[in-house]
Amino acid sequence: MTSFDAFFWWNLECVFCYELEESLIWKLENLGIKNFAIEKTPENLIEQTLSAWIPSFECSEKDRVEIEKALIGLNKAFDVKPLLFKWKKIVEEDWSSSWKRFWHPDPVGKELLILPSWLELPQIYSDRKIIRLDPGSAFGTGSHPSTRLCLEAIERNPPIGMRVGDIGCGSGILGIAALRLGAREVQAVDLDSLAIRATSENRSLNNFREIELGVSVGSVEALADQFKSKKADLLLCNILAPIIKELAPKFTFVTHAKSQLILSGLLIEQENELIDFLSTLDWKILGTYRSQKWALIHLCRDDIETNQR
Residues 248-275: tens digit of each pLDDT? 999 999 999 999 999 999 999 999 999 9
pLDDT digits (tens, 9 = 90+) for 47-59: 888 888 888 877 8
C-alpha 19/C-alpha 21 separation (Å) is 6
> H or E element: which one contains 71?
helix 61-72
With respect to residue 111, please indicate whether it lies within any of the assigned structural domains: no
At 4 the pLDDT is 40
Residues 168 and 209 in one domain: yes
φ, ψ of residue 17 to 5 degrees: the values are -80, 145
Type of residue numbered 48: Q
With respect to residue 121, please indicate whether it lies within any of the assigned structural domains: no
pLDDT digits (tens, 9 = 90+) for 43-95: 666 788 888 888 887 788 888 999 998 888 887 767 677 888 999 887 755 55
Type of residue numbered 238: N
At 223 the pLDDT is 98
Q: What is the mean pLDDT of the chain?
A: 87
Residues 96 and 238 in one domain: no
pLDDT above 70 covers what percent of the chain? 87
Which candidate, 274, 255, 254, places its Cα nearest to that of 264?
Answer: 274
Output 122 or 40, whichever has higher pLDDT: 122
Residues 214 and 255 in one domain: yes
Question: Is pLDDT of 306 > 50?
Answer: no
With respect to residue 197, please indicate whether it lies within any of the assigned structural domains: yes
With respect to residue 275, please indicate whether it lies within any of the assigned structural domains: yes
Alpha-carbon distances, residue 38 vs 51, 107, 136, 148, 207 (angstroms): 6, 17, 9, 16, 26
At 309 the pLDDT is 37
At 93 the pLDDT is 54
Residues 283 and 198 in one domain: yes
Which residue, 102, 119, 141, sits at the end of a domain? 102
> Residue 291: which residues within 8 A CB-CB, separation 6 or more?
145, 146, 148, 149
pLDDT digits (tens, 9 = 90+) for 103-154: 788 899 999 999 988 889 999 999 999 999 986 555 567 778 889 999 999 9
Count of beta carbons in the 10 Å neighbourhood of residue 283: 22
pLDDT digits (tens, 9 = 90+) for 222-247: 999 999 989 999 999 999 999 999 99
Q: Cα 16 to the chain's mean position, in Å?
A: 17
With respect to residue 177, please indicate whether it lies within any of the assigned structural domains: yes
Q: Cα 283 to the chain's mean position, in Å?
A: 25
Tell me the mean pLDDT in the region 172-192: 97
With respect to residue 67, please indicate whether it lies within any of the assigned structural domains: yes
With respect to residue 280, please indicate whether it lies within any of the assigned structural domains: yes
Output 303 or 11, whichever has higher pLDDT: 11
Length of the chain: 309
Output 23 or 129, whichever has higher pLDDT: 129
Type of residue numbered 51: S
Residues 54 and 142 in one domain: no
User: In total, how many domains does the chain have?
Assistant: 2
At 40 the pLDDT is 72
Residues 280 and 212 in one domain: yes
At 161 the pLDDT is 98
Q: Note down the domain range covering 64.
A: 4-102
